[in-house]
Amino acid sequence: MKTDIIELVRGVGDLVTLPDVFIRINQMVEDPNSTIDDISKAVSQDPAFTVRLLRVANSPFYGFSSAIDTVSKAVSIIGTSQIRNLALSTAVATSFSGLSNKLVSMDNFWRHSLYCGLAARKLAKMAGKCDAEAVFTAGLLHDIGELVIFNRLPELAKETLLLVLDGADELPVFRAEQQTMGFDHAQVGGELARQWKLPPMLEECIAYHHDILAAKRYPREAALVHIANILALMAEVQTLDPGDVAPIESAAWEITGLLEAEVIATVVGETRADIAEAEMLFFGKAFSR
Amino acid sequence: MAILLTPPARLSLALPGFENIKRSWNSTYETVAARLLPGEYFVTMHDEAVYTTLGSCISACIRDRVTGIGGMNHFMLPISASSDSWKAAGNSASARYGNFAMEHLINNILKNGGKRQNLEAKIFGGGRIIANMTDVGMRNIAFARDYLETEGLKISSEDVGDTFPRLVVYFPATGKVKVKRLRSLHNNVIAEQETMYLNTIEEKPVSGDIELF
């Protein structure tokens, strides 16, 4: 099964293009000899990303009190590993546009992903002891395996969705995938992250957002993305009743120390309030509705 | 002979005309559940569920609140040139299709012992699940409301419109309904099912004769 997933992900190599600026920053962040100056230079080589970076840095999303008008200021204030995540987060739509498919509109796909990213970031700030901005990126990317499956295995993917709709219980999609394909989108996404050499934290959150006890290095972040994914569904179908969506693993509350009663209404409400602005900020457009 | 209490043994006979509706044991609700596809309807006098998934289609859930006989339909008005103003046209082909779906359900309940004065109605669906498209769901909602009002049936509850598909599970014996709004991941598959159904009804217009009780 593992080899199936590896082959499946190899097949999309040409369809997904990570931004060069991300790859360059990624190498520099890993290299102890590189300086803020080196990273600022790498950022400046990509004018489009520079514009996006300064727009996000000056938006209410970060809420810095002073204006951030230069790249080096942005890099030193936001931090080098954060810049790496931003390079990825602000380019996901173009990076994955090669994985178009007939089963889900890209706007609907990214809206759910963005809801999850926003919710994960809020939860991370409440829970503490983790990097909220990195958890945002993890939430934004948690379902990328789905795009691979929809693009490469459209017949099986459709069979999976029909299986979900055929029952009165709304079988979770990842369970239906396991039945029809023998693996699920979380495993595929995790493999994609591994082949791309994404930071290990992102890889674990993507791979284990439906199986948080399997996350060994980043259980806290994986649990946050797991909760955020369900809260994103609640935001999407406009409910505050956990009975209306897939269940949240009780271990996720224990691992994060968050209390269900204290977070659901707040996070779902704030996420819904923030979505339109975040669409403009990270995707440069309002999603169709 | 010992009575078998295993679930399949509880699959009671369907009422005449509903033998082809797929029914199976549902462990969540611990009851037999009938699965409706677009264009189908189902009436039962047993303690069982009937469920369907709706995009822009609409389902009316109607029951006799005294005897518990009731059921569900699942339909939409065809989009033909003349159907834009089904109300003004009164007897347009598309309104005839909606009448057909509603009257089949109501007449079958009455035929099996339901009393018109005891009927209770609920409606679900009519979502706008494909962005930037004509709001066909709204036409279906308007039709269902108008139809029930004309028939003198009050709508006791509804969850209609907006942008999501729905899973509706109805229990005619008690009148209980479980509506689950579905995530947008399912929109395209549901829209495709509904388009296929729409193509079949547009090819085969229903005749104008409906027996009235």
| Cβ B98 vs Cβ B147: under 8 Å | yes
pTM tops 0.95, yes or no: no
Which of A4-8, A12-16, A142-146 bottoms out in mean pLDDT, i.e. has the lowest? Answer: A12-16
Give pLDDT, residue B81: 45
Residue positions counted in chain B: 213
Give every strand in the sheet of B58-64, ordered side by side: B41-44, B70-73, B58-64, B119-125, B155-160
3-state secondary structure of A210: coil
- Out of A173, A238, A288, the one facing B185 most closely (by C-beta) is A173
Give pLDDT, residue A288: 87
Whole-angstrom Cα distance, residue A107 to residue A95? 14
| CB contact set of A273 (below 8 Å; sequence gap of 6+) | none
| Cβ A55 vs Cβ A78: under 8 Å | no
Whole-angstrom Cα distance, residue B179 to residue A114? 26
Give pLDDT, residue B201: 84
* pLDDT tens digits, one per residue of A214-253: 999 999 999 999 999 999 999 999 999 999 999 999 999 9
Structure tokens at A280: 């403009």
Whole-angstrom Cα distance, residue B103 to residue A168? 26
Give pLDDT, residue A99: 95
Give pLDDT, residue B90: 47
Give pLDDT, residue B95: 79
Task: With CB atoms and an 8 Å threshold, state whether B185 touches A166.
Answer: no
Task: With CB atoms and an 8 Å threshold, state whether B184 touches A173.
Answer: no
Interface check for A158 against chain B (CB to CB < 8 A): the answer is yes
Interface check for A94 against chain B (CB to CB < 8 A): the answer is no
Interface check for A112 against chain B (CB to CB < 8 A): the answer is yes
Alpha helices by DSSP H, B65-135: 86-89, 93-111
- Residue ranges, chain B, pLDDT below 50: 1, 4-5, 81-84, 88-91, 212-213
Complex confidence, ipTM: 0.91
Give pLDDT, residue B11: 75
Whole-angstrom Cα distance, residue B123 to residue B155? 7
Whole-angstrom Cα distance, residue A82 to residue A72? 13
Residue identified by tokens 């791979």 is: A207
- Packing angle of the helix pair A200-208, A132-141 (nearest 10 deg): 50
> Regarding predicted confidence, which is higher, A122 or B97?
A122
Interface check for B133 against chain A (CB to CB < 8 A): the answer is no
- Report chain A's mean pLDDT, rounded to a whole number: 95
Chain A residues close to B169, C-beta within 8 Å: 168
Residue identified by tokens 């569900």 is: B72
- Out of A105, A111, A146, the one facing B188 most closely (by C-beta) is A105
- Packing angle of the helix pair A47-57, A36-44 (nearest 10 deg): 120
Cβ atoms within 10 Å of B159's Cβ, excluding its own: 19
